[in-house]
């Protein structure tokens, strides 16, 4: 057991990094659910993990190789036309298999792969925090514009073309945010814990909320509350963070039993 002062001193940077990531990932997860692409939150993190392991084998920084692999997968998805969860399921299969196969052929790769798949939030550094701060600033500055564009595109799919409004700017921005959230989330939280934040808060929230704005707020409340509780419990009870977070979010799913509005 640690006292509060020691906990604050040792884990300040990891806690803030994960908290900001939770906000970004939860919002991005809501947009993925809006676009019916929620499985991207599982497929792309495994591609990022495979890219990170590959980087250790060919001498590239883990972060760079994870970004390159995830960006390439997102680019292929874009070229293939409108994505569906089937595409992201294929990414999951490919990423999981590649990550474990590459890790099996290198001791260092095995360690990196395990960290990327299970999470290593306690080892987050200032560089991770700066990256998350940059991503958070991008989301904050573009939120209103991007949120409106994505809503219009989903509910009035012919609006942009009928009014000769280019859709590629918001598609590109969303892709940048998604890839960045996936890579930073995988590096800090782990592939499956990151997916749990992409998936559970919005799934539960939009089963209870009366509208989009209320759903976003409730998603954030669920994601942030689960993250803070998991971080504190994992440290105080000396348990791994990733499984603690995923189990708490699994418990939150019981809220789906409340009659929908």
| Mean pLDDT of the residues in the chain | 85
Integer Cα distance of 59 and 54 in angstroms: 9
Instruction: Summarize the confidence of residues 31-35 as an average pLDDT.
Output: 92
Ordered DSSP codes for 32-64? HHHTT-TTHHHHHHHHHHHHHHHHHHHT--HHH
The region of weakest confidence among 94-103, 133-142, 171-180, 193-202 is: 94-103
pLDDT digits (tens, 9 = 90+) for 169-185: 888 899 899 999 998 99
Q: Please enumerate in sequence order all residues whose Cβ is within 8 A of that of 147, keeping only pairs 6 or more positions apart, or say none.
A: 31
Domains of the chain: 4-257 (1.10.3470.10)
pTM for the full model?
A: 0.87
pLDDT digits (tens, 9 = 90+) for 70-97: 888 888 777 766 667 788 888 889 888 8
Integer Cα distance of 227 and 248 in angstroms: 9
């Amino acid at each position: 057991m640690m006292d509060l002062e020691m906990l604050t001193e040792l884990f300040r940077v990891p806690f803030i990094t994960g908290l900001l990531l939770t906000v970004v990932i939860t919002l991005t997860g809501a947009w993925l659910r809006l676009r019916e692409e929620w499985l991207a939150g599982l497929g792309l993190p495994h591609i990022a993990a495979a890219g990170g392991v590959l980087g250790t084998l060919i001498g590239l920084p883990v972060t760079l190789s994870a970004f390159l692999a995830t960006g390439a997968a997102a680019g292929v998805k874009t070229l293939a036309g409108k994505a569906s969860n089937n595409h992201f399921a294929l990414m999951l299969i490919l990423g999981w298999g590649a990550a474990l196969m590459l890790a099996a052929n290198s001791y260092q790769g095995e360690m990196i792969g395990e960290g990327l798949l299970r999470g290593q939030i306690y080892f987050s550094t200032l560089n991770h925090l700066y990256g998350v701060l940059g991503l958070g600033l991008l989301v904050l500055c573009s939120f209103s514009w991007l949120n409106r564009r994505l809503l219009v595109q989903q509910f009035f799919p012919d609006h942009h073309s009928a009014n000769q409004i280019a859709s590629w700017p918001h598609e590109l921005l969303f892709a940048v945010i998604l890839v960045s959230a996936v890579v930073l989330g995988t590096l800090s939280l782990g592939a499956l814990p990151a997916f749990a934040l992409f998936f559970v808060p919005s799934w539960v929230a939009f089963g209870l909320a009366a509208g989009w704005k209320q759903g976003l707020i409730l998603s954030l409340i669920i994601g942030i509350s689960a993250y803070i509780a998991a971080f504190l419990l994992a440290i105080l009870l000396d348990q791994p963070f990733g499984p603690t977070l995923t189990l708490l979010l699994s418990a939150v799913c019981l809220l789906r039993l409340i009659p929908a509005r």
